[in-house]
Structure 1
Amino acid sequence: MVRKIRAKLVLQLRAEGLSGRAIAGSQAMSRKSVTQVLEAADAAGLGWDDVKDRADSEVYGLLFPGRGDHDSVFAQPDWKAIHKEMARVGVTLKLLHGEYADECAAAGDPAMSYDRFCRTYQRHVLVTGAASRVGHKAAQTIEVDWSGPTMQLHTGADKPKTVYLFVACLPFSRYAFVHPSLDMSQDSWLRAHVAMFTAFGGSTPRIVPDNLKTGVITHPRDGEIVLNDAYREMAAHYSAAVLPGRIRAPKDKASVENTVGHVATWVIAGLRDRRFTSLPTLTAAIEERVCAYNAEPFQKRPGSRLSVFTTEEEPLLTPLPQVAYEISQWIYGRRVA
C-alpha cells in the first residue's frame, strides 16, 4: 500500500544515487511501491530539492493527491496530542483510548474500537514520520559511555596529550552531551557526570553505562551487580539508579552507541584542522559543535534534538539538588593503628 511508503525518503535516496531496486532492498519496501513513487514524482516534475523542506505527509499528498482520503464515521482524536501523551511515563494506548471513548460518550459522538484506534495511531506515526514511543519514555534514562575515537591537545611537549570524550545521550530526544577529559579515571568519570547533569538541567531515574571498572566492579550473568561506591553515591545524589547494560549487549544502550559515531563526525572530524593548546579552549569548541549537532533538523521528521528536548523532555527531568556532587575517594584495605 503506497500510503505507508515513505515517499520523501524514496526521493532522497534516489537523489543520493540509489536505484529503485537498491532503495527497495535497503528499506524493505516492495519494488512496485518504490516504482509508483518514482513514476509519480517524474510525472509531477518533483525532485529531492523540491520536497526536502516539506513534511512526509505533504510530499505524499503532492505525489498521490486524494489517495487514501476518506470520511470516517468515527470521531477523530487529536493525533498529535495522543502522540505527545505517549511520551509520558505510564501512558499507554489502552489508557488514551479509554479517555477518548469517555469523551465521545459525553459528546454523543461515535467512538472507534480499540483495534481501529491503535491502527489509526500507527498510520499517523508512519505518514508523519514521527518517532516511535516504544521503549523510550521522556526523562527516564540517560545512556553514557566513553567514545572510542579520541582527540589531541598540543601543550608544547614533545608528544601531544590524548583527550578522551565522555558522551551522554537522552534516548527519547537523542539530545547529546560531550565532555573532554585527559584520562579515563574514576574522578574524570564522575566529573563528566556532574557536568552532564548541569548541562541537561536535571537528572533521570536511570543511568545506563557500560561495564567499565570506573563504574561497575562486577556484573555477573546471575546475581547482584556490584557498583563502585563513589559512582553509586554520585547517582544517589542526583536521585538516579545505575543500571549497567548487559555484557556484549550493545542494544541495551543503542542510543549512545549511535551518538558516539555521530560525535566522531560532528566533533572530531569537524575540528580536525584546528590545533588546541588548552583544555578550556577545546571544551568551548566541543560545546559549540555539540550545540550545532543538537540543533540540526531531523532528516525524516520535523524538529530537531534540541526542539524535542526543550519542549517535551526538559520539563519532565528530575530537578537538580541545590549543591552539586563533590567527588570523594574511597580507600579500602588500610589498617588503622
Structure 2
Amino acid sequence: FAAPEPKRERVPPDLARIHQELKRTGVTLHLLWEEYLEVHPDGYRYSQFCEIYRRWAKKLKPSMRQVHRAGEKTFIDFSGKRPHIVDRRTGEQIPVELFVAALGASSFTYAEATESQKLPCWVGAHTRMVDYFGGSTEIWVPDQLKSGVRKPCRYEPGINRTYQELAEHYGAVVIPARPGKAKDKAKVESAVLV
C-alpha cells in the first residue's frame, strides 16, 4: 500500500485586503474569491471563503447585548417599505404606513396599518398599541420622525407637545433613538422585517 498523501493546508485569504476591496464600488465577495482561486487553485470553495470572511468581519464590529427589564421600554417605528390594502368594493390598492411596536424584554410585537405618518395617525396608533399591550411601559423609544419629534437632535431632541402629553397620560417618557442608529431600537427593527 502506498502511504497516503499528506493533507495540504489551504492558503488562507488575505481578509484585511478583502475587507478594503469590498468598500470599492462594484467589488463583490464572489469576484474576490475568483481572484483568490486564480492565485491559489487549491484554495477554499466559495461557501467556506465567505464563512471565513464573515466570521472575521463580525469581530470588527463589536456590539453590546442589551437586556431590558419587563415593563421598561417599547421600541416604536414605521416600516421602511409601504405595504398596501385593497378596497373590497373597488379593488383599488391603497398605500399605507406600517406602524410597529415591540416590547423590550419580550419582543412581543404590535403592528397596524395607518393612513399616514402624520400626528393623528401616530397618536391613534399609540393609543391602540397601549390597549393591545394592556398598559404602557415606562419608556417609549421612537424614531425621530416629525410626528413625534419637533426638533431632531442627537442629544436633546424636542418632543412634539401632543406626543409628549400622550406619553405623560400613559405614564411614559419619550426617549427617541439617535438619528441613524438602528441599534438603539434593534427590537423593533427586527420586528419590522417580519
Residue 25 of structure 1 aligns to which amino acid in structure 2?
I
Aligned position for 1:197: 130
1:149 aligns with 2:81: yes
> Which of the residues 96, 104, 114 maps onto 1:171?
104
Aligned position for 1:328: none
User: 1:1-337 to 2 correspondence within 5 Å?
Assistant: 21=48, 25=52, 28=55, 134-155=66-87, 156-157=89-90, 159-221=92-154, 224-262=156-194
Secondary structure (helix, strand or coil) at the match of 2:84 reads strand
**Root mean square deviation, CA, Å:** 2.7
In the alignment, the residues of structure 1 paired with residue 51 and residue 93 of structure 2 have an alpha-carbon distance, to the nearest angstrom, of 47
Count of residues in Structure 1 that have an aligned counterpart in Structure 2 = 142
Residue 76 of structure 2 aligns to which amino acid in structure 1?
V
Overall identity of the aligned pairs, in %: 34
In the alignment, the residues of structure 2 paired with residue 183 and residue 239 of structure 1 have an alpha-carbon distance, to the nearest angstrom, of 26
Residue 165 of structure 2 aligns to which amino acid in structure 1?
E
Secondary structure (helix, strand or coil) at the match of 1:169 reads strand
TM-score, normalised relative to structure 2: 0.64
Structure 2 regions of 5+ residues with no counterpart?
A: 1-45, 57-63
Aligned position for 1:271: none
Q: Following TM superposition, by how much is the alpha carbon of 1:240 offset from its aligned partner in structure 2, in angstroms? A: 0.3
Secondary structure (helix, strand or coil) at the match of 1:246 reads coil
Q: Following TM superposition, by how much is the alpha carbon of 1:248 offset from its aligned partner in structure 2, in angstroms? A: 1.3
Residue 52 of structure 2 aligns to which amino acid in structure 1?
G
Q: Following TM superposition, by how much is the alpha carbon of 1:162 offset from its aligned partner in structure 2, in angstroms? A: 1.2
Structure showing the higher strand proportion among its residues: 2
CA offsets 1:226-273 (integer angstroms, 9 cap, x no match): 1111100000011000000111111111111111111xxxxxxxxxxx
CA offsets 1:19-72 (integer angstroms, 9 cap, x no match): 99479637849xxxxxxxxxxxxxxxxxxxxxxxxxxxxxxxxxxxxxxxxxxx
Structure 1 regions of 5+ residues with no counterpart?
A: 1-18, 30-131, 263-337
Q: Following TM superposition, by how much is the alpha carbon of 1:184 offset from its aligned partner in structure 2, in angstroms? A: 1.9
Q: Following TM superposition, by how much is the alpha carbon of 1:171 offset from its aligned partner in structure 2, in angstroms? A: 2.3
Q: Following TM superposition, by how much is the alpha carbon of 1:209 offset from its aligned partner in structure 2, in angstroms? A: 0.4
In the alignment, the residues of structure 2 paired with residue 22 and residue 257 of structure 1 have an alpha-carbon distance, to the nearest angstrom, of 29
In the alignment, the residues of structure 2 paired with residue 208 and residue 134 of structure 1 have an alpha-carbon distance, to the nearest angstrom, of 14
In the alignment, the residues of structure 2 paired with residue 135 and residue 192 of structure 1 have an alpha-carbon distance, to the nearest angstrom, of 26
Alignment CA distance shift 1:227-1:256 (3 Å): same
Q: Following TM superposition, by how much is the alpha carbon of 1:170 offset from its aligned partner in structure 2, in angstroms? A: 1.1
Aligned position for 2:8: none
Residue 209 of structure 1 aligns to which amino acid in structure 2?
P
Structure showing the higher helix proportion among its residues: 1
Aligned position for 2:60: none
Residue 141 of structure 1 aligns to which amino acid in structure 2?
K
Alignment CA distance shift 1:24-1:188 (3 Å): same
In the alignment, the residues of structure 2 paired with residue 133 and residue 207 of structure 1 have an alpha-carbon distance, to the nearest angstrom, of 19
TM-score, normalised relative to structure 1: 0.38
Secondary structure (helix, strand or coil) at the match of 1:149 reads coil
Alignment CA distance shift 1:22-1:261 (3 Å): farther
